[in-house]
Structure 1
Amino acid sequence: MSMVWKYRTLLVAVICCTSCFVRSQSIIPSVAESGIAGNEEGVPINIENLPDSLKGRKPFVVSLISISGNKKTKDYVIKRELPFQEGDSVVLNELVEKFRLGKQQLINTRLFNEVVISLKRFRGYMVEVQVDVKERWYIFPIPYFKPVDRNLQTWAQKGYSLDRINYGAKFTYYNTTGRNDKLKLWLITGYAKQLQLSYDQPYADKSLKKGYAVNFIYSGLKEINVNTINNQQFFLKSDSLPKSGTFLETMYGGSVQFNYRPGLQTRHSLRAGYWVNEVDNAVLEINPKYLSLSGKKKIAVPELTYSISHVNVDYAPYPLKGVIADAAITRRGFGNDPGMWNLDLKGTRAWDLKKKFSYSLQFAGMLTLPFKQPYRNHRLFGYGDFYLRGLEKYVIDGVAGAMARNTLRREIFNFNVRLPVKKGSHDHIPFRLYAKTYTDMGFSINKTFDNNSYANRMLYTAGAGLDIVTLYDIVVRLEYSANHFGQRGFFFHFKNDF
């Protein structure tokens, strides 16, 4: 009997000593006790649910980054967007912010519909990270059908004429080799003709910091905006000129660009181009200063541009939080006719106000020197995304100008429409709807062409509307705007500006 008790006592002692030894050797006992350490099944771990004592301990090492769902995109391209890499040391509570930033960066590449970054498992002080992505479609061979006018409002003023339509095909191959490169071929005919071929490779070296782009364009226009009268474009059509050639203006040329991206959010670009423009004599009869101050019919212009871009927002196509800033300086032509320096500035600052509210302030400015420029270099308000909401029907020429947009939004709906496809990256279509109100203001300087009564004065607009944000960065904007001239109207846009 005494022998049995002796063995039992010895067994208990061994168990106690072993337990003490295991506990003393355990690197993360709080995780072990919670049952999530060494998760061999790979179930994602919520960092925020881990004990505070663990989050503040010494740094962990990212031992492995596993990626799934990327059938086309290279693993190293995805890892390039992450603010942490394999071998980095990081405190666990910092990973929450790094995961958020990594997801933001990957979404803003516009390569993926969805991104999930999670903590996969612990192995002592080593952690494994899981990145799951759902890729987009990358090949878009689509027919092209678009009015030649600046926007739908100006097309409506001309009676929605089908004679003012360009048609053709656009072939765009995003992520061509899986390195976020893009191949573009556009063949447009109809009212105008255009051929464009370009290729953009952002990752041309092993460090994934340097890239390049090449671009070639040819276009022929049967109708061009040769002057501005009463804040409206005055067009000349080749069909109404019996002695005119096929096109009133032709343009061709190309460019090469070098890109440098040292970090995650800032990019530098240096582009060199050479462009040739030629117009019909009928254009110079109406506006001798259309292409040059000396009335030249044909010009060949070398161009050099340096630009810098910084993007740190939650979602670049429709930012609700963060900063986007762009700046570019261009030298166009090396003589005096034409010869110009051009500075472009553009930025957006968005604030999340909580309770589904957000506010954004947008700014854009442009300066051209010298101020004395041919007509074609005076295009400012009303061209591209440089316009005030409520003045879409007008153009305001100038060689210098600035504008500011203020927008207050509130999300009113956020839902998904399920598709019959049960697997893959397109099993649903997301929709987010925002109600908004806004005010805009702007000013332009024009000392050469005085047919613009809206130039050289402050301009104000305001309105309210509804934005619909959905798949593939599509933003549909329905807006009712008014300006300080007493004009009101409903406006429709198919993209977000800035």
Structure 2
Amino acid sequence: MLLRVFLFFLLLFSGAVALAAPCAVPVVVVSGITLSGNETTKKQVMLRELTFSPGDSILTEDLEALLLDNQKRLFNLRLFHHVNYTYTCDAGNLQIAYEVQERFYLYPVPIFDFADRNFAAWLEKKDWSRIDYGLNLVQKNFRGRNEEVRVRVQRGFNKRLELAYRIPYIWRKYNLGADFAVADYRSRTISYTNSNNRQYFLEEEEGGLPIKRTSVSGALIHRQNVQRQQGLRLSFHNEHISDSVTLLNPSYYGNGQQERQYMRAELFKVINLRNNFAYPLAGSYFEAGVAQTFFLDKTGTPFTTARAKYVKYIPLSAKYFYMAGAEGQLRLAGEYAFADNIALGYRSYVRGYELYVVGGQHYGLFKQGLTRQLLDIKSIRIKFIDNPKFNNIPLSVFLNGFTDAGYVVDNTFEKGNPLTNQLLVGGGLGLHVVTFYDIVLRGEYAINREGDKGFYFSARFPF
């Protein structure tokens, strides 16, 4: 992610164009579909996303909306810089053409990142030893089939080795795809407890590693299209902590255990109807999942986790947009380990509480925002770069006012953590920049209910 930010500032020193011959009949028949610009991407990858095919009849009054919706489907594959379409009508016969500009698909991403939950948490310590570095090699659109291969070699404060492979279709007849991943993680430090909703860390002497994790996972995914997917994921995990951790917090894994193995089965569903997956301004997003965790050799108590998220994006005018959404989690178990007591403060959080962690078994989170588009440049041409995959940079800038609210239920580890079991409220004003290769940069000034104020930086869409 930091490399993507770097490329943006280095390159800084797409739109849809529809040309049409009007159809004079009330119903047209698709006589042909042509594709151009897809030098790497296989034709069938694009055709499978379209909601029409040769021989279909279409009401003329619905034609523009249909072609625009399919243009968005192709663009949200995240394989192209832009997708344009044209069509011609001849005696009720419709010829449709989509033209794309492909992205660059193979790139090494140097890792230079902060070892903490977010930039604000690292900035509070300003410890330059808490840096991760390495290489993340990504091959998108592998074999031109929208497959993805990732190899991550990370050193520094947190050591990580990962290999992942995703294939959209392994059984085309039933729209079944799959993904597989293996990972090994080792860290020089571990957050062994929370107090006053702050993490307390243990760092072993002489290069010891207080925590080690390995995992293997695989998923079978029913992929209707880029917008609708559901599937089943199975994973195996092995985790080990040092005896120092169990002495400081016997509840970390429970009963003073240093090691545990478990399997997890998860059913999930995603319906992504956003107009733009990187920075949506219209549409909706829904995801839900339920997972069951089974521990092997009596190394833990089984638990069930259910989660759901829904967000609505509403264009108010050409320049103003509103977003509102909620997400929640329920975790049910006979006994809870501290390691699994994760709620707000990690990937999900109330803005204004970036420096805090609020652990718990259940949580609810609500976010809303009003956005004003300040700048929308379809393309900045970089003349000294000849490659069209890099020499046209879109740039959009948005002013965003937001309010967030959240609540965490913790009946096990709430002692000494006053933000648990109470309403959390935050709000503020932010500037969002959206550009090259789906880069989203957010700078936000926020204040929370406790009166804490701060400026926070992030590199992903807020919700």
> TM-score, structure 1 length as denominator?
0.86
* Structure 1 residues 182-211: Cα deviation after superposition (integer angstroms, max 9, x where no partner): 000000111121110010001222337111
Question: Which residue is equivalent to 1:137?
Answer: 104
Contact 2:264/2:293 (8 A) holds in 1: yes
1:148 and 2:115 matched: yes
Question: Which residue is equivalent to 2:173?
Answer: 207
In the TM superposition, 1:161-172 aligns within 5 A as 161-172=127-138
Structure 1 residues 284 and 86, CA, compared in 2 at 3 Å: closer, same or farther? same
Structure 1 residues 100 and 444, CA, compared in 2 at 3 Å: closer, same or farther? same
Amino acid in the other structure paired with 2:223: R
Q: Residue 79 of structure 2: which of 111, 123, 127 is its match? A: 111
1:418 and 2:386 matched: no
Deviation at 1:97, TM superposition (A): 1.0
The CA distance in 2 between the partners of 1:425 and 1:140, in whole Å, is 12
Structure 1 residues 44 and 113, CA, compared in 2 at 3 Å: closer, same or farther? closer
Question: Which residue is equivalent to 2:396?
Answer: 432
Deviation at 1:213, TM superposition (A): 0.8
Contact 1:405/1:438 (8 A) holds in 2: yes
Question: Which residue is equivalent to 1:259?
Answer: 221
Q: Residue 360 of structure 1: which of 323, 347, 350 is its match? A: 323
Question: Which residue is equivalent to 1:217?
Answer: 183
The CA distance in 2 between the partners of 1:229 and 1:267, in whole Å, is 40
Contact 2:266/2:290 (8 A) holds in 1: yes
Amino acid in the other structure paired with 2:433: I
Amino acid in the other structure paired with 2:186: G
Question: Which residue is equivalent to 1:496?
Answer: 461
1:92 and 2:89 matched: no
Question: Which residue is equivalent to 1:350?
Answer: 313
For the residue of structure 2 that corresponds to 1:154, the secondary structure is helix
The CA distance in 2 between the partners of 1:490 and 1:122, in whole Å, is 55
For the residue of structure 1 that corresponds to 2:309, the secondary structure is strand
The CA distance in 2 between the partners of 1:172 and 1:88, in whole Å, is 38
Question: Which residue is equivalent to 2:274?
Answer: 313
Question: Which residue is equivalent to 1:28?
Answer: none
Question: Which residue is equivalent to 2:150?
Answer: 184
Question: Which residue is equivalent to 1:479?
Answer: 444
1:327 and 2:301 matched: no
The CA distance in 1 between the partners of 2:421 and 2:19, in whole Å, is 60
Deviation at 1:423, TM superposition (A): 6.5
The CA distance in 2 between the partners of 1:154 and 1:371, in whole Å, is 33
Structure 1 residues 310 and 44, CA, compared in 2 at 3 Å: closer, same or farther? closer
* Greater share of helix: 1
For the residue of structure 2 that corresponds to 1:167, the secondary structure is strand
The CA distance in 2 between the partners of 1:263 and 1:69, in whole Å, is 21
1:378 and 2:341 matched: yes
Structure 2 gaps, min length 5: 1-16
Q: Which has the higher contact order (CA 8 A, sep 6+)?
A: 2
Structure 1 residues 264 and 143, CA, compared in 2 at 3 Å: closer, same or farther? closer
Contact 1:148/1:164 (8 A) holds in 2: yes
Contact 2:77/2:226 (8 A) holds in 1: no
Deviation at 1:346, TM superposition (A): 1.5
* Structure 1 residues 300-339: Cα deviation after superposition (integer angstroms, max 9, x where no partner): 1011000000011110121110011110100011577231
Amino acid in the other structure paired with 1:107: F
For the residue of structure 2 that corresponds to 1:219, the secondary structure is strand
The CA distance in 2 between the partners of 1:371 and 1:354, in whole Å, is 51
* Structure 1 residues 349-407: Cα deviation after superposition (integer angstroms, max 9, x where no partner): 100001310000121101100273100111111111x0011110100011000010010
Contact 1:99/1:118 (8 A) holds in 2: no
* Greater share of strand: 2
1:101 and 2:69 matched: yes
For the residue of structure 1 that corresponds to 2:69, the secondary structure is helix
Q: CA RMSD in A?
A: 1.7
Equivalenced residues, count: 442
Structure 1 residues 208 and 168, CA, compared in 2 at 3 Å: closer, same or farther? farther
Question: Which residue is equivalent to 2:248?
Answer: 286
Contact 2:301/2:333 (8 A) holds in 1: no
> TM-score, structure 2 length as denominator?
0.92
Contact 1:371/1:447 (8 A) holds in 2: no
Percent pairwise identity = 28
Amino acid in the other structure paired with 1:400: H
* Structure 1 residues 428-472: Cα deviation after superposition (integer angstroms, max 9, x where no partner): 111111111111100000111122110000111110111111111
The CA distance in 1 between the partners of 2:148 and 2:52, in whole Å, is 26
Q: Residue 125 of structure 1: which of 92, 96, 102 is its match? A: 92
Deviation at 1:109, TM superposition (A): 1.0
The CA distance in 2 between the partners of 1:468 and 1:137, in whole Å, is 21
The CA distance in 2 between the partners of 1:422 and 1:154, in whole Å, is 41
Question: Which residue is equivalent to 2:195?
Answer: 229
Amino acid in the other structure paired with 1:448: T
Question: Which residue is equivalent to 2:4?
Answer: none
Structure 1 gaps, min length 5: 1-42
Deviation at 1:45, TM superposition (A): 4.1
Question: Which residue is equivalent to 1:198?
Answer: 164
1:391 and 2:365 matched: no
